[in-house]
Chains A and B, each alone.
Chain A
Amino acid sequence: MELQFPNSTFLLASLALLLTACNRPDTTLDSPAPPITRAEVDLDRYLGKAIGKEVEEIPWIAHVRAFDLNQDGLMDAIGCEAKYDEVVWLRQDDKGQFEEILLASDMQAPVHAEVYDLDDDGDFDVLVSCMNIVFPNNDKIGALIALENDGHQNFRKRVLLEGVERVTDARAEDMDGDGDLDLVVGQFGYDQGEVRWMKKVGPWKYESQSLLHLSGLINVCVSDFNNDGHPDIAAQFSQQWEEIHLFENDGKGNFTDKIIWGSTNHDFSSSGMTEADLNQDGLPDLVFTNGDGFGPTLKPGPRPWHGIQWLENKGDGSFNYSRIGDLAGAYSPVVKDIDQDGDLDILSVSAFNDWENPKAESLVWFRNDGDRGFTKVTLAYEPIQLLTIDFADFDGDGVGEIVSGCFPSFPPYDRTSRFTIWKETANR
């Protein structure tokens, strides 16, 4: 039997087959999708008002911390003025006015202050990290100074550490379970830096133990990150490292170092880190910013990857990274329930932005939708060059207020302030 070759039929069939076979369904891309920032503007939510001294000079407010220092039930704030080497107390009176009181002068460029009862005498002392020179310097000129409270808010200076790489952060915690407050110290340095813990061995006496020699330390956070009942240390490093290390504590003051996050982008520009249980699962997370504007050229400025990140604690000393949102020049992350809806939000400021653009954000709120989604809400365009904020209920109405500090490190020097208190307009 001779095979008949049905040319046209075969051709058509082949084409139809091809069209079906090759018309593969559209693909979902396999690689991870880019983060998209949802954004809103709400300039009316808060009204800012300058507090503290009126000074015409350009301020260098490196840090502000909300704390009721004299325990009179009215929230105060502690501020670090790095240019004039001062630590100040913004004391609130019962009329809601703030008086700026000098706690200590000649403080060697203070850049961070935390409040603890360091000597266990029932009043609050101030632990101050001092860089000595804020701008690049690799000399061992850093200091850690405690301001000891005599119980009446008179403070005596006690130098706990000096002649070391420039100190940028220090926290007090009982690291070895012996019942007293030890210290955890972060030294930015410049080319050389260090993280150490200082075991308390007597009244105002400490013994240092080095944990890691690495430059560019921005912040340290102390909490039981690996859920083993002992406080661990998280340390954020900038410079060319761009890493966050976790020092896991065995409870006796022995630490194991591991990296829990990093970027291979040497200009990532880490700028601040705080510990908070952002998803309220009972485990301390880390929220951190990248926004340092200084780079390899003369003018600092924003970079496209600046923003806010969340390291979600998995409970075993490991963390999952999530991008919260973009913010040029982001600094000073603060995690609080800003809108009182039961979930935790994030506040941040911009220290380095395109200030020639009047719509460059200065103060920003990342509103949590309670389902791992955040919307960026611009709260203010000025004062510009804010470096530090804190959030607390200053007026006792149950709704928090923001206190901010301004550190103009580069022109323009207009639209600045020293300290500002931001009250919610709805509750003002």
Chain B
Amino acid sequence: MKKALTITLSIVVIASVLTSTLRWNAQRRDAMVIETHLLPAPSAKLLNPELAQRIVALNKRAIEGPERIDSLAMLSRVYHANGYLNHAWQTYRILIEIDEENPKWPHNLATTVSGFGQLSDALALYRKAIELDREYIPSRIHLGDTYLKLNRYDEAKVIYQSILDNESANPYALFGQARVSLAQNDTIRAKHLLESARHSNNRIGGDLLADIYERLGETSKARALLHEVTWSSHVDISDPWVDDIVSDCYDSFEVAMAAGKAGRAGDTARAIQLMNKALALDPLDHYAHDHLAKLYLIQGNLNQAKKSYANCTKILPTYDQGWAGLISIEIKAGDHVKASEIIEQALVNCPNSLVINNYKGDALTNENRPQEAIPFFETTIRNFPQNAVGYNYLARAYIQTGQNGKALEQLQKALNAEPSNPLTLKLITIFYILAGEQVQAESHLQKAILSPRISEEVIRNLQTMFNEEFE
């Protein structure tokens, strides 16, 4: 009995010593790996003071403990968020080694590595991330994209299809499949896939689809699509493991970029939140205030937009876009008196501004004082000869004063500056129709029809005018 007890106790003691020793060894090994491989912290002189303090503290805790892995994880996040990508890269490598079941580390390292263009290296890392977490779709989309960009179309297809098997409308997988189809010259399949992708998310694939419509002779579809898409409207897949890192960023520019990305993806609330964070880091960034105002306008929050534009004008009175925003809001609200007051203030601060001179000239034209408006448009043209807008306004003022020859001259200059400016094409087509010059009218009407930036309604109206005049 005593012997059995002794043995049992011995086993318990041994097991407990073994466990403790194993844990101790694992921790010692982690500490050694961290200490050996962690890059020296960047010079504190270049850093935001709070960021510098955090980096020092996290480095210390990562090496000395306690909670080495958590500290290292936070350090990787801080480095990644603040643009110290080599440091983040190395930290992720260590985390992959010592926290080997966590899919975030291979995923985030793959994103960093691929961000520099090292696709071959990213491949294994994305595969590893998926092995650890099959449910995280961004890893799988990125793996598919990586195969695609390595010309490994069959493997890309398998990955995209595996996503579509569970989520048949995933726009990024559909888009990926469409790109594979295009690479394999299957235009019809690509068309259907892109149409499906856009059905799920209309910020994806419009550019490729418009090209396909054009090549297939489906010109009205191409035209409608190009009229609908916002230029450069493609958005990345949301990737929370990487995107959320920005909350630890101390660089106002990078935070503003993240805000812009969120805004482009249609998440205005998130964009506003991030832009406010950017402004907390750099309250004097007038561009961020301007961008924030634009985001508030998208939300329909005119008061906040006004405040943000007003901040622009206070921070940098010569920044014309702040004034322009305020003027625009007052005009839309119908308060022309207030708008005129702001225009006068703006002109004092920004005498050569394109947008402010145009506002002033336009206000005078609307008050039926086109002759007085002309010098303002001339200022615009003098300072921005490559921009069609000033010529358009000036042409309109000339038309109002009955100087049609001069108006035509300005419209031609506008077209020279910007050959498919929608307003110019519309005005010059109307001009030639009213002047009874059929050949010129028809030529410009055709150019208008070819320009997707002109709405179908305007085209119909021009066509009707043309027919009434010449048929």
Chain A residues in contact with chain B, CB under 8 A?
Answer: 5, 7, 10-11, 14-15, 18-19, 22-24, 26-27, 29-36, 83-85, 106, 109, 132-133, 136-141, 190-192, 213, 215, 239-240, 242-243, 257-259, 261-268, 290, 295-299, 301, 303-305, 307, 309, 321, 323
Contacts and interface: CB of A to CB of B under 8 A. Distances in A.
Contact of A261 (B119, B226, B451): B119
29 contacts: A7-B6, A10-B14, A11-B10, A14-B18, A18-B18, A19-B25, A23-B29, A27-B97, A30-B97, A31-B93, A34-B87, A84-B385, A109-B386, A133-B386, A138-B226, A138-B452, A192-B207, A240-B232, A243-B149, A259-B150, A261-B149, A262-B149, A264-B111, A264-B142, A290-B117, A296-B264, A297-B259, A299-B288, A321-B117
Q: Which 4 A-B pairs have the closest CB atoms?
A: A262-B149, A296-B260, A297-B260, A22-B25
Contacts of B146: 264
Nearest to B289: A298
Given A10-B14, A29-B96, A263-B114, A213 B211 contact: yes
A18 B236 contact: no
Contacts of B408: none
B207 A191 contact: yes
A193 B396 CA distance: 34
A140 B214 CA distance: 13
B3 to A, nearest CB: 8
Interface string B195-206: 000000000001
A345 to B, nearest CB: 21
Given A264-B149, A296-B263, A297-B291, 5 more contacts: A29-B37, A139-B451, A191-B233, A263-B119, A323-B116
A165 to B, nearest CB: 10
Contact of B93 (A33, A136, A309, A323): A33
A22 to B, nearest CB: 4
Interface stretch (B58-66, B120-128, B339-347, B428-436): B120-128
B29 A261 contact: no
B406 interface: no
Contacts of B233: 191
Given A266-B234, A296-B264, A18 B149 contact: no
Contacts of A7: 6, 10
A15 B17 contact: yes
A11 B14 contact: yes
Contacts of A257: 183
Interface string B256-297: 110111011000000000000000000001011011000000
B400 to A, nearest CB: 28
A22 B17 CA distance: 13
B167 to A, nearest CB: 20
Contacts of B125: 31
A191 B206 contact: yes
Interface of B: 3, 6-7, 10, 13-14, 17-18, 21-22, 25-26, 28-29, 32-33, 36-37, 83-87, 89-90, 92-94, 96-97, 106, 109, 111, 113-122, 125, 142, 145-146, 148-151, 183, 206-208, 210-211, 215, 226, 229, 231-234, 236, 253, 256-257, 259-261, 263-264, 285, 287-288, 290-291, 385-386, 416, 418-420, 450-453
A141 B90 contact: no
A382 to B, nearest CB: 21
Contacts of A297: 256-257, 259-260, 287-288, 291
Contacts of B89: 33-34
Contacts of A83: 386
Contacts, number: 199
A31 B229 CA distance: 41
Pick from B115, B231, B260, B291 the residue with the most CB of A within 10 Å. B115
Nearest to B229: A191
Contacts of A258: 151
Contact of B114 (A11, A264, A299): A264
B291 A298 contact: yes
B183 A29 contact: no
A215 B207 contact: yes
A263 B116 contact: yes
B85 A305 contact: yes
B22 A29 contact: no
Contacts of A15: 17, 21
Contact of A34 (B7, B90, B148, B232): B90
B287 A298 contact: yes
B230 to A, nearest CB: 9
Nearest to B263: A296
Question: Which of A32, A141, A305 is most buried by chain B, counting CB atoms within 10 A of its CB?
Answer: A32
A351 to B, nearest CB: 16
A18 B291 contact: no
Contacts of A18: 18, 21-22, 25
Nearest to B420: A139
Contact of A265 (B3, B115, B231, B257): B115
B234 A240 contact: yes
Contacts of A192: 207, 210-211, 226
A257 B182 CA distance: 11
A32 B25 contact: no
Contacts of A106: 416
A298 B7 CA distance: 75
Given A31-B96, A140-B420, A296-B261, A22 B33 contact: no
A18 B263 CA distance: 56
Contact of A191 (B114, B122, B210): B210
B37 A32 contact: no
A297 B453 CA distance: 23
A190 B231 CA distance: 7
Nearest to B26: A22
A84 B26 CA distance: 68
A417 B229 CA distance: 38
A36 B84 CA distance: 12
Contacts of B120: 321
Contact of A141 (B28, B83, B85, B419): B419
A306 B92 CA distance: 20
A92 to B, nearest CB: 30
B10 A10 contact: yes
B117 A11 contact: no
Contacts of A263: 114-117, 119, 149
B109 to A, nearest CB: 6
A31 B122 CA distance: 9
A88 to B, nearest CB: 17
